[in-house]
Structure 1
Amino acid sequence: MSDRKTVLRYFHVLNRLRKSPASFKEIDAYLNQQSEWQDENFQVSKRQFGRILKDIKSIFELDIDYDVSRDVYFIDEESESDITNRRLEALDTFQALKVGTDISKIIHFEQRHPQGSEYLMPLIQAIKKEVRVQFAYQKFWDNFLTTRMVEPYALKEFKNRWYLVAKDKKDDKIKTFGLDRLSNLILSNTKFAVPETFSVDKYFHHCFGIITPDEGEPEEIVICFPPHQGKYVKTMPLHGSQEVLTDDETELRIRLKIHRTYDFLLEILSHGDDIKVISPPELVLQVTDKYKNALNQYPNEKTN
């Protein structure tokens, strides 16, 4: 059996179980359907199915349990994690892009520049081995490259971009570097030790985006949205601290506990008139100043 067919069989078993618990008979029927659609043979015996479940647990770190009373298999939700879900999403995308050679007629891709994903694996290796890396880096506002030697701590994703969190040996400060602005990556043989006190989750715990203030405490921020926009905000929370205060036919009002960074200010402005800042007063002033400055860009335009 080919490796390709094996991986696809795992994919189809998981896809069926992600929809709902299913008996072996129902899973077998689903595999038969996929076999017909893709001109392959994905069907397995009950004995082979047991081995498949063990492989899925090993590869995806996902437990599939069996309920004797209902005679169904199901995914153990407690074994699911963000990493597991991202693996499955990546497999979904990979499989969707293999439906044929002329997929541009049925899939409309977002136009974007490369995001530096080719550096993910070598950086993960450097982080795990705790070795310094060197690379050339160009900030958006600079026209020149600088050579950086850093101690890589972690990787972070934000708005479809990847960032390296590392200590810059130039000044021994922890910084974030966009992978799309990085080139000529070299893994060195110089070892280092990540401080035991460092946790990437704690480092960004009260942050929106990649900006982490050097000082100051996070603030309670209250904002509201009209009901139609509120539905999006509930399904895609702005931040992990998001707490719903009001949710009715007039508004969705939420509270966040985060640092008031420029990243977050830009997020507020991106919602236009579908958002209103309630507190703190300093953020209200920041937003109104931005809107006033925007209006000043059109001094000759008349308003009704």
Structure 2
Amino acid sequence: MPTNLHALIRYRTIDECLVKRYRRWTWQDLAEACAEKIYEYEGLDAVPSRRTIMYDLQSMRDGKLGYFAPIAYDRSSRSYTYEDPNFSIQKFPLSKDDIFELEYALSILKNFKGFQNATGIENIITKLEHTVTLQEASKKEIIHFDHSLNEPGQKWLHMLYDFIQQENAIRIVYQPFYLDEPYERVISPYIIKEYDNRWFLICWDHIRKDIRNFALDRLVNISKEPVRFHHDTTFDAKQFFENIIGVTLPEQGKIEEIIFEVSADDAKYLITKPLHVSQKRLEDNKQKAVFSIRVIPNFELESILLSFGDRLRVRQPRKLKKRLLERIKKQLQLYGGII
């Protein structure tokens, strides 16, 4: 259990002690009570130090945690108590609407539980569950999310997040599917992108001198590299993803207008779920509809267009039409050619 979750246990334990006004609580008493709770929850012998208890009391007093606990210190007995006999950090003025909104937020946040190193979110969920006193056993699932099965990639999220935030150059050991042996790269990580239930790292490649993406599930190892972090002044994450579908940015790729037609039934689907933010409807009748998007053609775009099968036809650009036809011909060859 992470240290910051231990802190939550200590806050609640200190609160449980201070509401018991029939006795005086020294810092040693509070530390002993916290140690008992930590052992009860975790099976760990961890007795908080005086410094830890002092820091906890101060954190409960100030507004950082939102408690504003009225903790008073009695010098004669060297003990602590609540000035307000009715105070408790567990007494939050939540309305039914507040509880409903928190339950809804929890249903979403819980989809991040179980991610290795995603302890911050787990701590928030734990605190909210204690605050709202949710009983999971009595709650039926109302919202279901498509969980990512990309566990090998998830384990690098926390480490990469820290490297990006601190602007550290790193050395990665990468094992692509098409090579028998892994290779190393020194990169400056810029942003982490989730696409199609896989995680990708967008970065500056110090060897190739350009923007690259690496699938997190193909990473073998990551380590900090003692070289200067490279800032690509031309890189803008928002613009980068606005111009493509997926994560692949082809070399020398340029934004093109992609015009395609679909059946009337599929047109309804595309209206409610556009392929891209730039999508526009150009023509519409009972048989078909014509749409356009402005993106840089890449592999992900081709795959999406081909996924519609015989219900979609690309009108332009010509180069994209040729590329799709080549892929269709190769697929036909897998089935013994044209029948």
Q: TM-score, normalised by structure 1?
A: 0.62
Equivalent residue of 2:190, what SS? strand
1:251–1:43 Cα change, 3 Å: farther
Aligned length: 224
Native 8 Å contact 1:204 1:212 kept in 2: no
Give the counterpart of 1:271 among 289, 308, 323.
308
> Which among 250, 269, 272 is matched to residue 213 of structure 1?
250
Task: Give a deviation string over 1:135-189, Cα, whole Å, max 9, x none.
Answer: 2111111111112221111122221211111112223222101011112222345
Change (3 A) 1:133 1:253: same
2:155 corresponds to 1:118: yes
Looking at structure 1, the residues matched to 250 and 191 of structure 2 have their Cα atoms a distance apart, in angstroms, of 18
Determine if contact 2:204/2:230 at 8 Å carries over to the other structure.
no
Q: Contact 2:283/2:290 (CA < 8 Å) preserved in 1? A: yes
**Identity level (%):** 26
Q: Structure 2: which amino acid aligns with 1:201?
A: K
Whether the 8 Å CA contact 1:136–1:148 is kept in 2: the answer is: yes
Alignment of 1:19-168 (within 5 A): 45=93, 48=94, 90-91=108-109, 93=111, 99=136, 112-168=149-205
Q: Which runs of 5+ in 1 are unaligned?
A: 5-41, 57-86
Q: TM-score, normalised by structure 2?
A: 0.56
Which residue of 1 is the match for residue 71 of structure 2?
none
Shift in Å, 1:43: 9.7
Report if aligned partners of 2:186, 2:225 keep a CA contact under 8 Å in 1.
no
Relative to 1, partners in 2 of residues 1:239 and 1:88: Cα closer, same or farther, differing over 3 Å? farther
| In 1, Cα distance between equivalents of 2:239 and 2:318 | 27
Structure 1 window deviating more from structure 2 (161-170 vs 284-293): it is: 284-293
In 2, the alpha carbon distance for the partners of 1:111 and 1:91 equals: 14
* CA distance 1:115–1:246, shift in 2 (3 Å): farther
> Which amino acid counterpart does residue 248 of structure 2 have in structure 1?
I
Further displaced range: 256-265 or 107-116 = 107-116
Contact kept in structure 2, 1:130 and 1:194, CA below 8 Å: no
Query: Which of 188, 206, 209 is equivalent to 1:169?
Result: 206
Q: Deviations over 1:8-59 (max 9, x none)?
A: xxxxxxxxxxxxxxxxxxxxxxxxxxxxxxxxxx9963xx56xx79xx9xxx
Change in Cα spacing, 1:145 to 1:193, as seen in structure 2 (3 Å) is closer
CA distance in 1, matches of 2:302, 2:218: 23
Residue by residue, what CA displacement relative to the aligned partner does 1:256-281 show, whole Å, maximum 9, x if unpaired? Answer: 11122232222211221121112223
1:64 corresponding residue in structure 2? none
Q: Secondary structure at the match of 1:253?
A: strand
- CA distance in 2 between counterparts of 1:276 and 1:262 reads 17
Report the Cα offset of residue 192 of structure 1. Answer: 1.9
- Alpha carbons 2:261, 2:315 under 8 Å: kept: yes
Structure 2 letter corresponding to 1:91: L
- Assess, with a 3 A threshold, how the Cα gap between structure 1 residues 299 and 171 changes in structure 2: closer, same or farther: closer
Per the TM alignment, residue 109 of structure 1 is displaced from its structure 2 partner at its CA by: 7.3
Matched, 1:204 2:241: yes
Shift of the alpha carbon at 1:233? 2.2
Whole-Å separation in 2 of the counterparts to 1:290 and 1:256: 21
**CA separation of 1:217/1:300 partners in 2, compared to 1, >3 Å: closer, same or farther?**
closer
Q: Indicate if the aligned counterparts of 1:130 and 1:191 stay in contact, CA closer than 8 A.
A: no
Instruction: Mark the CA change 1:140 to 1:227 in structure 2 (over 3 Å): closer, same or farther.
Output: same
- After TM superposition, list the pairs within 5 Å mapping 1:218-297 onto structure 2: 218-297=255-334
| Deviation of the 1:237 alpha carbon | 1.8
The residue that corresponds to 1:60 in the other structure is: none
> Mean Cα displacement is larger for which, 198-207 or 129-138?
198-207
Question: Helix, strand or coil: the match of 1:264?
Answer: helix
Q: Deviations over 1:105-136 (max 9, x none)?
A: xx897794425122122212111111112221
Query: What is the distance in 2 between the residues matched to 1:229 and 1:43?
Result: 53
1:100 to partner: Cα distance: 5.1
